Amino acid sequence: MTDFYQKTADEALEMFNSDKKSGLTTEEAHERLEEYGPNSITQQKSKSAWDLLWHNLNNLIVYLLLAAAILSFAMGETVEGIAVLIAVALAVLTGFFTELKAQKSVDSLQSMIYTTSKVIRDGDVEQIKSSELVPGDIMVLEEGDAIAADGRIITSRNFACIESALTGESEAVEKSWRETYDDEIPLGDRRNVVFAGTAVTRGSAYVVVTETAMKTEVGKISGMLTNSGGDKTPLDLELDKLGKALIIAALIAGIAVLIAGTLTNQPFTEMAHISIILAVAAIPEAMPAVSTITLSRGMKTMAEHKALVKSLSAVETLGSTSIICSDKTGTLTENQMTVVEVVLANGDHFEVSGNGYEPVGSIEKDGKEIDPNDNEDLIELIRDGVLCNTAQLKQSDDQYDIVGDPTDGALVVFGAKVGLRRRHLEEDNWEKVAELPFDSENKFMVSVYDHDNGKRTLIMKGAPDVLMDLSVHTDETYQKWQSANEEIAANGHRVIAIASISDYQGSIEDTELKDSLDNLSLNGLVGIIDPPRTDVFDSIALSQAAGIQVKMITGDHPKTASIIARDIGLKNYEKTMTGREIDHAVDTPEFEEQVRETAVFARVSPENKLQIVRALREQGEVVAMTGDGVNDAPALNGADIGVAMGIRGTEVAKESSDMILTDDRFGTIVDAIKEGRIIFDNIKKYVAFLFSCNMVEIITILLSVVFLLPMPIQPLHILFLNLVIDIAPAMSLAFEPAEANLMGRNPRSRSESLVNKLFLGRIILSGSVIGLTAFGLFTVLMANNYQLIYAQTATFTFMAIGQLMHIFNVRKQNSFGFDKSLFKNRALVFALLLSVVLQMLAVYLPFMNAVLGTAPIGLITWVAIFVAAAISTIVVMLLKKVINFN
C-alpha cells in the first residue's frame, strides 16, 4: 500500500500519469473506471424476510414444542397437537413481524459518497458523479464541498477541512500541498491529503485522486465492519441455556414416568402418553411469545425515551452493560467550539458562559456577572474577533449552526452574545478594504477596515506565539502574555490571540500585509473549547454509581481529552493511552490489563477503537460503544451494543449500531441501560413464574404415578394453564416498575446465568410446595369418593388459582408483592382478573366442559381451593424469607 502523504505533489501526479492543468482525458478516465471500478462502497447485506423468519424458528424452545406436537399427533391427540402448534405460531410470528418492522435497510456508506464532484477532464472543469471518480483525476475543491475520494493535494490556498466524522477531532484541519512526511504519522495529522467522507470548511485546492471505493479510508472502515460483530448477545446465550434446561427437564420427567410405570406394571402405551403430558408440562409454551412481547415493549419504551433499538436481544443486553466506551466529540461534548475565557492586555480575566452555537450566555469577572459594554477594551476585542472572520452564524427554527471554520464560528457566536454581528458593524461604516486569509504557514489572519471618516484599523488573529513575536512589548509584558497563554492551554482550551493596529498607515495589498505590521498591539487571548454536553456530568455519575465504567475514546490530543474527562467527572481521568501506544502494546500480554486500567484513549484510529472493544470483551465485559462518526463504525459494530447519535451521527454510524439516540443525549444511554435492567429483572420474574407453574404440574403428575393414582389433570388442562391462564399474567410482568435498588447494584457479569442453581432452587421449591398442595387436594377428593372428572376439575382449578396467587411471590425479589405497588401495574391487575374469569368459563361453560373434560364444582370446593392456595402462597413467602435464592 502506498502512503501518498509521504509523496510530494509532483510524485503523486507522476505515479498516476496525470497533469494538474489538463487532468485526465475522457478516454483515460473511462479506461480507469473499467480497471478500478466505480467509486462506491461495498455495502453490508441486510437480513431478508426469510433470514428473520429462520432466526425466529431456529430456537430450542420452538424445536421442543414441535416435537411435543408431533408426538401428540402420533398418539392420536389431535386437539393437543393443534394447541401446541398454535403456541409455536404465536411465538415465531410475533418475533418475526417485530424484527421485520425494526430492521431499516440504510444504504449509508453509498449515500455518503453518492454526490457530484468537480474535476478537470480534457483541460476543462466538469461536474461528474462521484461514483465516476478514478485514481489520477484532478478534483477541484472549494469551501462547502463534500470530498468523495482520498487524494494528495497538489495546490491549495487557505485550505482547511472538517474531518471529525473520520478522526473524531472537532477542529478544522489546516491543509497544505507543501507538507511532506518521511515517517508514518496518524490519520488526523496528515496535512497534505484529503479523505472521502469529509468536507471543505475553508479555501480551495486542487487534489489528485489517489484512492477510490474500498481503498479509501472510509472503504477500509467498511471492510472492518463486515469482519466484526456477529457474536450472540447475553440474552441469546441465556435463552439457549434455558432451552437445554428444558430438554433435560422433559427427558428426566419422561424417563421417571416410564421407570415408575415399569416398576408398577402399568401399560406401556398409557405411560408413554403420560410422558408426553409431562413433556408438555415441562415446556413453558408461552415463553417465546412472552419473551418476544416483553422485548418488543422494551423497544417501544426506549423509543419513547429517545432510544431506537434495532433488535430485540439488544434491549436486554443493555441491562448487562458493564463498560461504556464513549466517543468524545459530539457525544460527551457539543461538537460546537465555544469561547469560555478571555484575558485582556491589562490582565483582566473574564469567564464566558453558554454552550454551543446558540448566542446565549453571560460574561463574568471575579465570579460576578458584568455588562461587557462597560468595558471598552473587552468590547473592542470581541468586535475585532467578529470582524477578522469569515464564518457565519445561521439559524434554522431553533437550531443554530456555523458555516465556515468552527474556531472562527466560536468568535462569531461570542460577538452575537453581546449583540455584535458583522453585518451590523458593516452597516455602521466598518468597510473591509483588505484581507490576508489564514494559512498554516503564517498561522494568522489579517483584515483591514476603514471606518470613522477614513480611519483605518488592521486586525489580526492567530496563534499566540506568532502574534506575541510580531507585537510590540517589553520583556516583562511578553512573560505575562506567555504565562496567560500557558494557563489557558493548561485548562485544555485552544488559545487564539487577537491583535490590532488602531491607526494603520501601511499597505492594503494582500501580499504585503504581513510585511507592514509595525506597531502591532496584542490586545487579548481567547480560550476556546468544545464544551461538555450539559447532561453528561450527572449521567456519568449515575453510571459509575451503578458499577458501569465509562471510558473516553477520541481522536483528540491526550491532554485535551484528559481535561475534558476531568471536567465531566470521569474516574481515573489522568490515566491515558494514545493510539501509537496501543499499536505497540496490542500484541503484548499486558494489553488487556492496560485497557482495563485506562480511562482516556486519545489520538486513536478506527482500528484502535475496535482493538479496545475486543480487549474489554475478552475480559468478560459487556461493552456499549457510543459514537457518531465514520471512525466509530467498526467499534460500534464490534461492541455488544453499538450506540449511534441520531442527530449528529453519520449514516455509517447509524447503520453499524444496535441503538440510535434520537436526541444525542449521553443521559439517554443511561436511561436505556436502566430500562434494560428493568427488562432483565422482569424476564427473570416471568421465567420464575412460568417455570414454577410448570413445576407444579410435573410434581403433581409424578406423585400420582408414584402412588398409582389416576392422572390428576388432563393434557388439555395443562395446555389451557400454559397457554391461557398463565400467559396474560406473565406478559403483565413486563410492565413491572423498577425495583428500588436497580441502579445501585453492579451490572451482572457475562458469565452470570439467568437460570443458575440458586434460581432453579427457588423455582423447584416454590413449584414443589404448590404441587404437593395440588396433589394433596386431589388425594382428599378421591378419598372422599368424588368422581374423577370432578376431582380433576378441582385440581385443575386449584393449579390456576394457586399459580395466580404465586405471582405475588414472584413480582418482588425480596418481599411479598401484594402491596400498593400492585396498582402501578394495572396490566397485572387486569390479567389476574381475566385469568380468573377464563378459569370460571372453563369450569362452568358447557362447551368448555365438553372440550376440556371439566365439570362444574361447588362452593365448598371453591373455599377449599382458595384456602389451599393461600396456604401454599404463605409457605412459599416464608421460605423465600428464610432461604435467599436470588
pLDDT at 227 (0 to 100): 45
Closest among 25, 218, 225, 13 to 136, alpha carbons compared: 13
5-23 average pLDDT score: 88
pLDDT at 233 (0 to 100): 55
The angle subtended at Cα 376 by Cα 373 and Cα 377, nearest 5°, is: 125
pLDDT at 228 (0 to 100): 45
Report yes or no: 738 and 671 within 8 Å, Cβ to Cβ: no
Looking at the domain 4-43+109-226, which fold is it? Answer: 2.70.150
> Reduced to 3 DSSP states, what percent helix, strand and coil does the chain have, rounded to the nearest 5?
55, 15, 30
* Residue 713 Cα distances to 150, 250, 623, 859, angstroms: 73, 18, 48, 20
Domain 317-333+534-664, architecture per CATH: 3-Layer(aba) Sandwich (3.40)
pLDDT at 472 (0 to 100): 82
pLDDT at 107 (0 to 100): 36
Report yes or no: 649 and 660 within 8 Å, Cβ to Cβ: yes
395-403 average pLDDT score: 81
Residue 546 CA from chain centroid, whole number: 18
Mean pLDDT of the chain: 83
Given the DSSP bridges, would you call strands 307-309 and 150-162 parallel, antiparallel or unpaired?
A: unpaired
Fill in the DSSP letter of residue 792: H
* Position with higher pLDDT, 568 vs 701: 568
Residue 501, all three cell numbers? 493596529
**Lowest mean per-residue pLDDT among 47-56, 609-618, 774-783:** 47-56
pLDDT at 110 (0 to 100): 37
Query: Taking the CB of residue 132, how many other CB atoms lie within 10 A of it?
Result: 18
Radius of gyration of the chain (CA): 35
Reported as a pLDDT band with limits 50, 70 and 90, residue 375 is very high
Residue 157 CA from chain centroid, whole number: 39
Question: Is residue 213 scored above 70 in pLDDT?
Answer: yes
Report yes or no: 333 and 533 within 8 Å, Cβ to Cβ: yes
Domain 50-100+231-306+672-882: top CATH class: mainly alpha
Q: Which helix (H) or strand (E) holds 119?
A: strand 116-121
pLDDT at 868 (0 to 100): 96
52-62 average pLDDT score: 73
Where are the domains positioned within the chain? 4-43+109-226, 50-100+231-306+672-882, 317-333+534-664, 338-529
DSSP letter string, 48-77: PHHHHHHHHHS-HHHHHHHHHHHHHHHTT-
Domain 338-529, architecture per CATH: 3-Layer(aba) Sandwich (3.40)
How far apart (Å, rounded) are the C-alpha atoms in residues 391 and 403? 6
Report yes or no: 418 and 373 within 8 Å, Cβ to Cβ: yes
How far apart (Å, rounded) are the C-alpha atoms in residues 347 and 697? 83
**Lowest mean per-residue pLDDT among 124-128, 573-577, 851-855:** 124-128
Report yes or no: 523 and 377 within 8 Å, Cβ to Cβ: yes
Same CATH topology for 317-333+534-664 and 338-529: the answer is: no
125-133 average pLDDT score: 87
Closest among 681, 680, 682, 684 to 732, alpha carbons compared: 682
Highest-confidence segment of 45-49, 329-333, 707-711: 707-711
Report yes or no: 229 and 145 within 8 Å, Cβ to Cβ: no
How far apart (Å, rounded) are the C-alpha atoms in residues 200 and 760? 61
- Look-up of cell digits 468568535: 411
Reported as a pLDDT band with limits 50, 70 and 90, residue 788 is very high
Given the DSSP bridges, would you call strands 116-121 and 138-142 parallel, antiparallel or unpaired?
A: antiparallel
Report yes or no: 832 and 730 within 8 Å, Cβ to Cβ: no
pLDDT at 277 (0 to 100): 65
Closest among 143, 149, 150, 152 to 178, alpha carbons compared: 152
831-842 average pLDDT score: 95
How far apart (Å, rounded) are the C-alpha atoms in residues 411 and 393? 10
Q: Which helix (H) or strand (E) holds 208?
A: strand 199-211
Q: Which helix (H) or strand (E) holds 543?
A: helix 536-545
Q: Which helix (H) or strand (E) holds 466?
A: helix 464-470
Query: Taking the CB of residue 262, how many other CB atoms lie within 10 A of it?
Result: 11
DSSP letter string, 637-698: HHSSEEEEESSS--HHHHHH-SEEESS--HHHHHHHHHHHHHHHHHHHHHHHHHHHHHHHHH
Question: Is residue 475 scored above 80 in pLDDT?
Answer: yes
Question: Is residue 885 scored above 70 in pLDDT?
Answer: no
How many residues are there in the chain? Answer: 886
Q: What percent of the chain has pLDDT over 70?
A: 86
Helices and strands of the chain, counted as H and E runs:
32, 26
pLDDT at 274 (0 to 100): 67
Query: Taking the CB of residue 165, how many other CB atoms lie within 10 A of it?
Result: 25
Show which residues are catalytic.
327
Query: Taking the CB of residue 502, how many other CB atoms lie within 10 A of it?
Result: 13
pLDDT at 91 (0 to 100): 63
pLDDT at 652 (0 to 100): 63
Sign for the CA dihedral angle at 165, 166, 167, 171 comes to: negative
How far apart (Å, rounded) are the C-alpha atoms in residues 790 and 710? 13
**Lowest mean per-residue pLDDT among 323-332, 387-396, 546-555, 746-755:** 746-755
Residues 6+ apart with CB under 8 A from 16: 135, 136, 208, 209, 210
pLDDT at 769 (0 to 100): 95
Question: Is residue 465 scored above 50 in pLDDT?
Answer: yes
Given the DSSP bridges, would you call strands 150-162 and 193-194 parallel, antiparallel or unpaired?
A: antiparallel
Q: Tens digit of pLDDT for each residue in 240-289?
A: 666 567 667 767 777 777 777 777 677 776 676 667 666 666 666 566 66
The model carries a pTM of: 0.69
648-668 average pLDDT score: 78
How far apart (Å, rounded) are the C-alpha atoms in residues 185 and 5? 9
Question: Is residue 134 scored above 90 in pLDDT?
Answer: yes
Residue 446, all three cell numbers? 489579517
Question: Is residue 72 scored above 50 in pLDDT?
Answer: yes
How far apart (Å, rounded) are the C-alpha atoms in residues 420 and 502? 19
